[in-house]
Amino acid sequence: MKKIEVENVTKIFGRSPAKGLELVRQGKSKEEILKETGMTVGVNRAQFSVEAGEVFVIMGLSGSGKSTLVRLLNRLIEPTEGSVWLDGEDVTEMNREELRRIRRTKMGMVFQRFALFPHKSVRENVEYGLEIQGVSKEERKQKALESLRLVGLNPYADSRPNQLSGGMQQRVGLARALANDPDILLMDEAFSALDPLIRKDMQDELMDLQSSMQKTIIFITHDLDEALRIGDRIALMKDGEIVQIGTPEEILTDPANAYVEKFVEDVNLTKILTAGSIMKRSEALVFGKEGPRVALKRMREQGTSTLMVVGRDRKFLGILAAEDAKAVVEEEKEMEDVLIKDVVRVEEETPVSELLPQMAENHFAYPAVVTDEEGKLRGVVVRGAIFAALAGNGNGVNTDAIS
Amino acid sequence: MPFPKLPLDRWIEQIVNWLMENLTILFDLISNLVEPTVGFFEMLLTLAPPVITAVVIGFLALLASRLSVALFTLFGLLLIQNLQLWTQATSTISLVLTASLISVIVGVPLGIWVARSKGMKNIITPVLDFMQTMPAFVYLIPAVFFFELGAVPGVIASVIFAMPPTIRLTNLGIRQVDQDLIEAADAFGSTSAQKLFKVQLPLAKSTMMAGVNQTIMLSLSMVVIASMIGAGGLGAVVLEGISRLEVGQGFEGGLAIVIIAIVLDRITQSLGKKSEKTS
């Protein structure tokens, strides 16, 4: 279900936006319009939709219009043109009253520099959204404490914001946005002012909260790693335009143009690529049904020296090496005894950065085995696949395997 | 042919005459508000014997500020009493409090208006500049025309002279509130009034208090000058000293004014600081 649909939204800062709009329609660039008229194109005909429960990241460098774009959604900045549909209502057509209702009940916002009220206690800050709706003192106090508990700060309810560290202050900011129980969270560079370690904690915490709350989150950031970590989908902005929208993998492996390519080239692929995205589906030998001769034949056909062995329920049992299969045939050993069970086993979500050291530890002797949580075989990762994926900037990635 | 002198002086006189003839009701109304207010403050200050009043004010200073200020207040007021200037001092303080009260009642809303409207700011700013730079004596003449001699024209002239800092600093305080906080207030769906009373004014409070402090100091200086139009009080003592060339008497009156100035300044300053601490 689409929660938000943004249609052709444009913002032009300057004296005669109508004229700027004309130039935008003629396809002139931000720079040309600035030179010609002195007006700044904040957002240029942005078009996207966000699903309910999705984490939608809007990413771009400073000046790319991302913070403007998020403010156009709740009209902290008035769009020059275009529509923002929220649950089937056009926010841009609303009068003040309706807009206030939307801001109070449907959209919570978290700010880069926290924007906590210094004259109010932490609890009063969290209560603010409820207070202005006229919620009774008792009820809003209770809701505020609940919200603070979510972010683990209820012991600090009576402190002043300036007594807390940056990370804690932003938790308060998050709690304040959550206290109204909005469907949508607008997070404007919410973690950018925090130091890297705290930032990572906050990202994890947000994802934890998100898994239980299922809010629709629109997250603004200039940090690609952050975008890739938390985004279900990412929109990349440049000069007020959205240049590409896609899942993290799509952005990385299939950049829409040279700009996106340049943006993502420094990304540490091992953190983004998962075992699932580089594994090969492998034909396995079903234990008890197929014998060592079948195994040898299959290895010959595939040109490999090992074969995965699974039970009838497709649960992974071990790896059978070619020489062991021969031994079973010639020396009449039991197949069970020669199966290699001490192998690297991971799940599809395991990032390559974790997979790589494990495989290096046993000198890449055998492929890594990818199983699901029940232990059923999903695929294998051979040494070559990792290096191909890393070296080829994603050429070796089988995008069809990405779920 | 030289360009003849503009009859600006006569124009102004005509305007003042017109106002006197046509707005008598308004001026009467103002008089009827100001006079009882001054009377009320004077009544408060003379209710108890001077020594007890001094102790009470000293105690109030202790609540608002620290011990040293309270002691200074107590001994300063006792000195004034000793110099037999108590009656004059109470009338001066009453005039100052009335003028300041009116300045705040009128100035704060004006300051808020200026802060919220660019057009209003463009109108008010030059008016404030005019009010502050025009020599204070000049206000005395029309004030006398409109309100006759006595306390009322003194208070009105003081209000005109002393109100600008309250307006300016209210405006400044509100404009100084961090834009992020305004944005946050908006993002959660505050109405204009909610934003003003829950975010802007609380955060502007200490700046506004600095403005009020300035206003009180300026109205004290004006009230002294207003003795020239019969406002009475310590200014009259000084004026008498000057006209009779009695240096000693002039000094006594001046000293009493200084004491009152310091007391009012310290107390309002620490009130301002207190509001800063809680914010």
Written out in words, the top-level CATH class of the domain with range A276-401 is alpha beta
Judged by CB atoms closer than 8 Å, whether chains meet at A115 and B189 is answered as no
Dihedral of the alpha carbons of B54, B57, B58, B63, in degrees to the nearest 10: 170
Quote the pLDDT of residue A403. 33
Flag residues of chain B having pLDDT under 70.
1, 274-279
A117 phi, psi to nearest 5 deg:
-80, 115
Other C-beta atoms lying within 10 Å of the C-beta of residue B104:
20
DSSP tag of A79: -
Q: Between β-strands A306-310 and A316-321, what pairing exists: parallel, antiparallel or unpaired? A: antiparallel
Is A280 within 8 Å of A385 (Cβ atoms)?
yes
Is A111 within 8 Å of A185 (Cβ atoms)?
no
List all residues 6 or more positions away from B242 whose beta carbon is below 8 Å from its beta carbon. B250
Q: What is the DSSP string of A332-384?
A: ---HHHH-B----EE-TT-BHHHHHHHHHHTTT-S-EEEE-TT-BEEEEE-HH
Nearest-neighbour CA in chain A from B277: distance (Å): 9
Angle formed by the axes of helices B201-225 and B234-243, to 10°?
A: 30
Quote the pLDDT of residue A391. 66
List all residues 6 or more positions away from B11 whose beta carbon is below 8 Å from its beta carbon. none
Q: Is the ipTM of this complex over 0.90?
A: no
Q: Would you call B276 an interface residue with chain A, using a CB distance cutoff of 8 Å?
A: no
Cα radius of gyration (chain A):
27
Judged by CB atoms closer than 8 Å, whether chains meet at A74 and B181 is answered as no
Q: Is the pLDDT of residue A402 over 50?
A: no
Q: What pLDDT, in 10s, does the model give residues B122-134?
A: 999 999 998 888 8
Chain B residues whose CB is inside 8 A of the A114 CB are 180
- Rounded-to-integer distance, Cα A56 and Cα A233, Å: 5
| Residue A5: strand pairing partners | A49, A85
Domain with CATH 3.40.50.300 in chain A: 2-106+182-265
- Whose tokens are 């009377």? That residue is B39
Quote the pLDDT of residue A262. 79
A186-190, A382-386, B35-39, B46-50, range with the lowest pLDDT:
A382-386
Best of B177, B188, B276 to substitute, by most chain A Cβ atoms within 10 angstroms, is: B188
Nearest-neighbour CA in chain A from B178: distance (Å): 8
Chain A residues whose CB is inside 8 A of the B191 CB are 100, 132
Integer distance in angstroms from the first to the last C-alpha of chain A?
19
- Rounded-to-integer distance, Cα B222 and Cα B162, Å: 8
Is B222 within 8 Å of B136 (Cβ atoms)?
yes
Judged by CB atoms closer than 8 Å, whether chains meet at A109 and B198 is answered as no
- Rounded-to-integer distance, Cα A333 and Cα A112, Å: 66
Is A110 within 8 Å of A223 (Cβ atoms)?
no
Is A185 within 8 Å of A177 (Cβ atoms)?
yes
Chain A residues whose CB is inside 8 A of the B203 CB are 117-119
Quote the pLDDT of residue A390. 72
Q: Give the homologous superfamily in CATH for domain B8-278.
A: MetI-like (1.10.3720.10)
Q: Would you call A8 an interface residue with chain B, using a CB distance cutoff of 8 Å?
A: no
CATH architecture of A2-106+182-265: 3-Layer(aba) Sandwich (3.40)
Domain with CATH 3.10.580.10 in chain A: 276-401
Structural tokens at position B196:
């003003």
Per-residue pLDDT band at A329 (split at 50, 70, 90): confident
Chain A residues whose CB is inside 8 A of the B189 CB are 99-104, 129, 132-133
Q: Which whole-number Å values give the CA distances from A191 to A55, A115, A230, in the listed order?
A: 15, 13, 12
Per-residue pLDDT band at A324 (split at 50, 70, 90): confident
- Rounded-to-integer distance, Cα A10 and Cα A17, Å: 10
- What is the residue type of A286? V
Average pLDDT over residues A331-351: 83
Q: pLDDT: is A86 or A342 the higher one?
A: A86
Q: Which whole-number Å values give the CA distances from B127 to A363, B13, B160, B168, B232, in the listed order?
A: 85, 20, 11, 11, 29
Q: pLDDT: is A218 or A357 the higher one?
A: A218
SS3 of A100-154: HHHHHHCEEEECCCCCCCCCCCHHHHHHHHHHCCCCCHHHHHHHHHHHHHHCCCH
User: Which pairs from A150-155 meet CB under 8 Å and 24+ separation?
Assistant: A150/A175, A150/A178, A150/A209, A151/A175, A151/A178, A151/A205, A151/A209, A153/A122
Mean pLDDT of chain A: 87
- Rounded-to-integer distance, Cα A260 and Cα A263, Å: 5
Q: Would you call B269 an interface residue with chain A, using a CB distance cutoff of 8 Å?
A: no
Q: Is the pLDDT of residue A401 over 50?
A: no
Q: Between β-strands A241-246 and A233-238, what pairing exists: parallel, antiparallel or unpaired? A: antiparallel
Structural tokens at position A51:
């699903």
Q: Is the pLDDT of residue A283 over 80?
A: no
- CB within 8 Å of chain A, chain B residues 155-194: 178, 180-181, 183-191, 194
Structural tokens at position B129:
């500049």
Best of A103, A117, A169 to substitute, by most chain B Cβ atoms within 10 angstroms, is: A117
Quote the pLDDT of residue B141. 82
Q: What pLDDT, in 10s, does the model give residues A64-115?
A: 999 999 999 999 999 999 999 999 899 999 999 999 999 999 999 999 999 9
